Amino acid sequence: MNPVLKIDSTIILHNLSELKKLTKKYGIEMSVVTKGLVGYEPLVRLLVENGADSICEAHIQNLIKFKDLPAEKWMIRSPLLSEVPDVVRYADVSVVSEKTVIEKLSSEAVKQNRKHKAVIMVELGELREGCMPDEILPLAETCLSLPGIELYGIGANLSCVNEIIPDEKNMTVLSDAAHDIERTFDVKLPVVSGGSTSTVRMLEEGRLPERINHLRFGEAVLFGTIACYDVPFIGARTGAFTLSAEVIEIKEKPSVPWGERVPAVLPVASDPAYKDQGLRKRALIAVGKQDIRSEYMIPLDQNLKIIGDTCDCLIADVTASDKEYKPGDTVSFFILYHGLVTAIASDFVDKALV
């Protein structure tokens, strides 16, 4: 059988409810980042039905899938120029950092007789998307001067590439940028979006500047954890996603491979990655890199050790396990956020929403 990704919706909806209570306590709006679900509509629909009134996606194809869901829809990767017509048609909000993108959104919004909301992204050190400080006011002026565009606010992205965490210093920079725009152009920005799941720690401790009024949560809702810190937020539940796969083979084999390797590669005998432990019981399991990488999998059987993986199977040492595995048995794993992205997208993984 195919590997099965089991999704416990009660855990996810609990986390959504807890985060909504937390944000409400501080007068902050939240959007649910659903991009990690790779367009899996049954769960996204369930989130919307249970209080996710704003969702964020990085691919317009997913927002097209969700066009009938009654939620505000964000494109949280700046629109590609080639997809602007669909973005204006199917998204309510876009994050932007380039003048040419804003101009194209304006032109298309006029053509479609729509109003499109723009959130200017500000670079705070993560070195992902975002304009530099001297670009903020000119981009705001561009948004305010063009037809079909509403300057909806400003935002920032942290903790994705270089794991720069939100703190009082960078959140104050964002807050001050909002005040600068408002003073310069005599406007009120509806949204100052202070980041994503890594901001939960500051929110819990009441340390966010008052001007931050919006956050975007993905990992915290789906996994109950705070990005970068790798700990649950207060009141969270974890373990919503488990993956089960079938055992193909159980054999006792030497712990060190033998034979010749490519000459440029370190000889097996000299390779510190291989420690001779004698014969070990090994399980070949029917899930591989084409579905999920093994570093994003945590065995429920704590005595099972993942040795490695190929494109279509995983190899585990089950010598210390209390269970006598045999071909046809299933092995289950908790999966991490980056593993979900590939597992839920794989045509070779069945999904079970429970």
Q: Tens digit of pLDDT for each residue in 139-184? A: 999 999 999 999 999 999 999 999 999 999 999 999 999 999 999 9
* Residue 1 forms part of a structural domain: no
| Same domain, residue pair 90 and 216 | yes
Choosing from 35, 99, 281, 289, which is the catalytic residue? 35
Choosing from 232, 254, 284, the residue where a domain stops is 232
* Residue among 169, 210, 196 nearest 337 (CA): 196
Q: Which of 232, 267, 293 is the last residue of a domain?
A: 232
Query: Could you tell me if residue 141 is inside a domain?
Result: yes
Token code pair at residue 73: 């829809």
Please say if 35 is a catalytic residue.
yes
Has residue 63 been placed in a domain? yes
Q: Are residues 317 and 226 in the same domain?
A: no
Same domain for 151 and 53: yes
For residue 56, pLDDT over 90 is answered with: yes
Domain count, the chain: 2
**Residues 152 and 253 reside in one and the same domain:** no
Distances (CA, A) of 173 to 156, 268, 290: 10, 53, 41
Separation of alpha carbons 303 and 154, rounded Å: 48
Residues 51 and 161 in one domain: yes
- Return the C-alpha torsion angle 149, 62, 244, 251, nearest 10: -100
The rounded distance, in Å, linking the Cα atoms of 48 and 45 is 5
- Long-range (24+ apart) CB contacts under 8 A made by 52-58 are 52/16, 52/221, 54/29, 54/30, 55/31, 56/31, 56/32, 56/216, 56/218, 57/91
Structure-block tokens of residue 14 = 């609990």
Q: Does pLDDT of 262 surpass 90?
A: no
Domain check: are 223 and 253 in the same one? no
Same domain (yes/no): 95, 198: yes
Where is the domain boundary, 232, 259, 284?
A: 232
Domain that holds residue 41: 8-232
Instruction: Note whether 74 and 137 are same-domain residues.
Output: yes
- Whole-number Cα distances in Å, 111 to 64, 91, 251: 19, 15, 65
Question: DSSP class of residue 210?
Answer: T
pTM (global) more than 0.85: yes
